[in-house]
Amino acid sequence: MTISAKTVTPHHLLFSENPSLWQAVSKEVRQKIYHYHDRVTSHGDAASNLWLVLSGWIKLSRQTPDGKETVVGLCTDGDIFGEAALFPNASYPYSGEVLSHEAELLAIPSACIREHIKQDALLSSNIMAFLHAHTSQAQLKLEQMNTMTAAQRLGCFLLKLCQNQSDGAKTLRIPVEKNILAAFLGMKPETLSRTQQQLREVGVEVSGDKIHITHIERLQEFVCGSCSASGSCSAEAVSGI
Amino acid sequence: MTISAKTVTPHHLLFSENPSLWQAVSKEVRQKIYHYHDRVTSHGDAASNLWLVLSGWIKLSRQTPDGKETVVGLCTDGDIFGEAALFPNASYPYSGEVLSHEAELLAIPSACIREHIKQDALLSSNIMAFLHAHTSQAQLKLEQMNTMTAAQRLGCFLLKLCQNQSDGAKTLRIPVEKNILAAFLGMKPETLSRTQQQLREVGVEVSGDKIHITHIERLQEFVCGSCSASGSCSAEAVSGI
DNA sequence: CGCGAGTTTGAGTTCATTCAATTGCGGTGG
DNA sequence: CCACCGCAATTGAATGAACTCAAACTCGCG
């Protein structure tokens, strides 16, 4: 399952802003192929690798003792997860499971990256910014759980997928099962379903895993009034991580 | 309002684990006294200082365009806020307002601490751990908003205030207005009020700002079944920051 | 064609919210 | 000293958003 690492630099800020990091780390990195339902990391296990998603979709989730699941992140191309690996003796705070038919991941050994951080001040500061972005992410999502309706949360998620595009129409594809997407958005699948219909009134058509937004502005108008990040939200990561 | 800095080291991990930091920073640090309703930081302002609370209570909050307020943190003795100051050109993602009659804060200039981070690898790694702890915090709170009832969230908050004590009785004092505490816990003041009554059935008596817990175990039993951090939650910060 | 997983629809319930009214309490002034 | 004011906190009743449970639908696939 393990094959040799690619020689091209993966497209993530952490690497593009720290070319030396990739150079140093690429020898120890392992590219791995996983398949549908494979478990990459387990909640509570020692964090032995930092993971970079090259392709595919990964679900990051936690379980409560009484059996409820929370989806803390949905990662795809270019996303990083398993930051616990940056710290000695840390364990993963969530499980990572493959959602797509196939997923290509890069496993960066914890010891290797930690060693590098110690020696490279620029890298440290990039990592700090990276960690801080996560906190902002999580806090924003927290705010949205309190101030937004389910429909607005879905709308917000769609707007983030539209990236920087701020008007006109757009068609998206989200190849993730609806019950998982619902959990990620903090609602039940039935609610997600009803929520899609509400968004029809602001020009969002859902069919299967394809979503067509006729007027991004109208969706923004519907969503962004309840969000304190209004404006700068397009800069936010979609993955929740 | 600005008086000379104390010569004793403040009791926060960041300083106790990095004695050299305090030594270097203490010259540039300013101790400031604020009063009820003073605004220490404003949401959106350039993050010019990292703040350490020596005494008093500070509310960290954001406003949405349509006027709702979210309380992202409640800080008291030993808490740090304004981590945005660690990054160049960042701005505070929340406002900080004094809740207590008086509050003593330590203002650590952003440039000063950033300079130090560059030179001290141990400090960097402590800061990273510190930032990561924030993310875990926020993610855990996010999970709790989805899986816990209002009563359980209040209970969880109380348990965190009990620190490491895991059984027996305890009396707490929370000198924070109920509507602010409610906002911090993600509910309305009326709900907080009703919630207090529900907790009476598991041995929690509230009167004014004093709260008596007769059996910590009973409260844990009521709360922790719905939390994926069960067990290790006593290590979590109370402030939400 | 028919099975089955995933998704949607429908009806009823629950938890938290809203809005309105009441209570409790510290402070002020007669 | 006590009546009264104003604010915070609580209580009550009605509403609402999202949930649960159950039934119906869709669509890919053998």
pLDDT for A110-141, tens place per residue?
Answer: 999 999 888 888 889 899 999 999 999 999 99
Alpha-carbon dihedral B90, B82, B135, A237, rounded to 10 degrees: -20
Residue B178 CA to residue A113 CA, distance in Å, equals 45
Q: A121 with A90: CB under 8 angstroms?
A: no
Q: Does A93 touch chain B (CB under 8 A)?
A: yes
The answer to whether A23 contacts chain B (CB < 8 Å) is no
Contact A62 B225 (CB under 8 A): no
- Provide mean pLDDT across the span B77-100: 94
Residue A188 contacts strand D, CB under 7 A:
yes
Confidence at residue A134, expressed as pLDDT on a 0 to 100 scale: 93
How much is the pLDDT for B7? 56
CB atoms within 10 A of CB A63: 14
- The DSSP 8-state label assigned to residue B89 in this structure reads T
What's the whole-model pTM score? 0.93
Which of A87, A128, A233 is the best residue to mutate to test the B interface, defined by the most B CB atoms within 10 Å of its own CB? A128
Residue in A65, A135, A147 closest to B135 by CB: A135
Decide which of B5 and B49 is more confident. Answer: B49
How many Å does it take to go from CA B223 to C1' C14? 19
Q: Average pLDDT for residues B176-186, to the nearest whole number?
A: 97
Q: Which residue has the tokens 């855990």?
A: B140
- The verdict on A227 touching B (C-beta cutoff 8 Å) is yes
Q: Look at residue B227 in the predicted model and tell me its pLDDT.
A: 87
CA distance A11 to chain B (A): 23
Output the pLDDT for position B10: 73
Residue B168 CB coordination number (10 Å):
11
pLDDT in tens, A154-181: 999 999 999 878 889 999 999 999 999 9
Rounded CA separation A180/A51 (Å): 21
B228 touches A at CB < 8 Å: yes
d(CA A198, CA A203): 10
Closest CA of chain B from A58, distance in Å: 17
**Residue pair A92/A139 in contact by the 8 Å Cβ criterion:** no
DSSP-derived letter for residue B87 is S
Cβ-contact A178, A193 below 8 angstroms: yes
**Closest residue, CA to C1' of C24:** B208
Instruction: Return d(Cα A49, Cα A41) in angstroms, integer.
Output: 9
| A224-228, B8-12, B18-22: the lowest-pLDDT one | B8-12
Range 160-219 of B in CB contact (< 8 A) with A = 186
Q: Judge whether residue B209 contacts strand C, using its CB and a 7 Å cut-off.
A: no
From A140's Cα to the closest Cα of chain B, the distance in A is: 9
Question: How far is residue B226's CA from residue A66's CA, in Å, rounded to a whole number?
Answer: 6
Token pair recorded at residue A72: 């803390």
Residues of A within 8 A of B221 (CB-CB) are none
Q: Which residues of A touch B81 (CB under 8 A)?
A: none
Residues A49-90 have pLDDT tens digits of: 999 999 999 999 998 888 889 999 999 999 999 999 999 999
A192 Cβ within 7 A of any nucleic strand C atom:
yes
B101 CB contact with strand C at below 7 Å: no
- DSSP sequence for A81-127: E-GGGGSTT-B-SSEEEE-SSEEEEEEEEHHHHHHHHHH-HHHHHHH
Q: pLDDT tens, A179-206?
A: 999 999 999 999 999 999 999 999 999 9
Is the CB of B147 less than 7 A from some atom of nucleic acid strand D? no
